Amino acid sequence: MPDFFPAFMTAKEIFLVVFITFGAIILSKSSILQQIIANRLRPRDSILGANILESCPGPLKAFPPELKSYQLPSLRTNPTSHSSMGLKRFDKSKWLTIDSNYMPEHLIRLELLQNSLPTVVQCLPGSEPACYELLDHVTSFLTSQFPRHFSIVPSTYTSPPSIRNHITNETHIIGRQCSNPLETCARLTMEDLSILIEDPESGEHRLMASATLFPAGWKLQERIGTTMAAVHGPVPRWKENFSGHINLYFAHITAKSSMERQSFFVQTTAKLFQDEPEGAPSTPPKIEDIYVRRERQTFMRLSKSSALVFTVRTFMQKLVHLDIEEVRAFEQQVRGWDKEMAAYKGVGVWGDVALNWCDEMLHRDSS
């Protein structure tokens, strides 16, 4: 028997002391580990203004490991025609996206929903049936297309039905007992979701509900309840070029035929929540700080309420990370904008730096 135990102690007493001491060490280590995990997973105060891929903890970047980044089509050199608006049919099995950026973006969405809910989620009276129908679609899609990551928990005598998010270990009430179906959708998806309902008097679609967590230079509170013409009012010549076609396209979107389109903006920060246009900086931005903000937009008709669902998935990519063909497409599109469009897109903030870099890259490629 080791001589650091008192001679009068029995073997049973020595065992009890060792057991208690060992248990205390384990609990201490566990407490420290839990604190480390909590600190790493807590959204940072500055996360809304940071590059999500650089600011989030390392393990989150690769979790879950089997999810790969969604691949957007390459930037194109040919502009969108006025008659088509770049719309095309898409496979409905690819409606919502879940990829390797899920956790970093999820942290930002949670922070916005917790601290700025009225800023990012708005639901006007009359939109409730469509919001619940959308939640049904979202949960059905996620559990069928990503069954390893989402599953339905059936109702019991004591609890309503819910959906389990196995990526985040969160559970959300679904069905008619869900108090805010659109907010729940926003907590599950990577897309922003808006509901457009046709005005029976004018025949125009109005923005009646929206979960817009990643706006590109506009405020949801100012656009909720307005028509599509008002929503796109700041876009140069939108009324002249597109308003005559938008209602026609909406009329042809059914529960069986859905459409998608792509668009892009340019920012000098990696902020996903950007509810105001960028102002002119005091000094020109560095080329490494210029980001191409791309949006994948989809339109789908709900069968029961006949409302239109408009989704936006936002992707951020540094300009310097574009391949040479996309650099060429980017340069041609930007130089093809007239003064009004260039001003709307903020070319005065980043244009000289970005286009000079594009010219240099294209010159290198041709020599």
For 292-304, how does the pLDDT look when each residue is reduced to its tens digit (9 = 90+)? 999 999 999 999 9
Helix, strand, or coil here: 347?
helix
> What are the two backbone dihedrals, phi and then psi, of residue 356, each rounded to the nearest 5 degrees?
-60, -40
Half-sphere exposure of 165 (CA within 13 A, CB side): 22
Give the tokens for residue 339: 């003064």
Q: pTM value?
A: 0.80
User: Could you tell me which residues are beta bridge partners of residue 173?
Assistant: 162
Cβ–Cβ under 8 Å, residues 226 and 124: no
Give the tokens for residue 295: 């949006």
CA 162 to chain centre: 22
> What are the two backbone dihedrals, phi and then psi, of residue 88, each rounded to the nearest 5 degrees?
-150, 155
> What are the two backbone dihedrals, phi and then psi, of residue 344, each rounded to the nearest 5 degrees?
-60, -40
* Dihedral, 117, 121, 127, 131 alpha carbons, nearest 10: -90
* Dihedral, 142, 144, 150, 152 alpha carbons, nearest 10: 110
CB contact set of 209 (below 8 Å; sequence gap of 6+): 122, 123, 124, 127, 130, 131, 182, 194, 195, 224
Q: What pLDDT, on a 0 to 100 scale, did the predictor assign at position 9?
A: 53
Which range among 15-24, 171-180, 241-250, 284-293 shows the weakest confidence by mean pLDDT?
15-24
> Taking residues 347-362, what's their average pLDDT?
96
Q: Is the predicted pLDDT of residue 165 greater than 90, yes or no?
A: yes
> Taking residues 77-93, what's their average pLDDT?
71
- Amino acid at position 335, single letter: R
Q: pLDDT tens-digit profile of 169-212? A: 999 999 999 999 999 999 999 999 999 999 988 888 999 999 99
Q: What pLDDT, on a 0 to 100 scale, did the predictor assign at position 77?
A: 74
Q: Which residue has the tokens 């006025």?
A: 82
CA nearest to 350, candidates 232, 262, 265? 265
Q: Which residue has the higher pLDDT, 357 or 70?
A: 357
Query: Residue 80, by phi and psi: left (phi above 0), alpha (psi -120 to 50) or beta?
Result: beta
Q: What pLDDT, on a 0 to 100 scale, did the predictor assign at position 34?
A: 41
End-to-end CA distance of the chain: 82
Q: What pLDDT, on a 0 to 100 scale, did the predictor assign at position 125?
A: 97
Cβ–Cβ under 8 Å, residues 163 and 174: yes
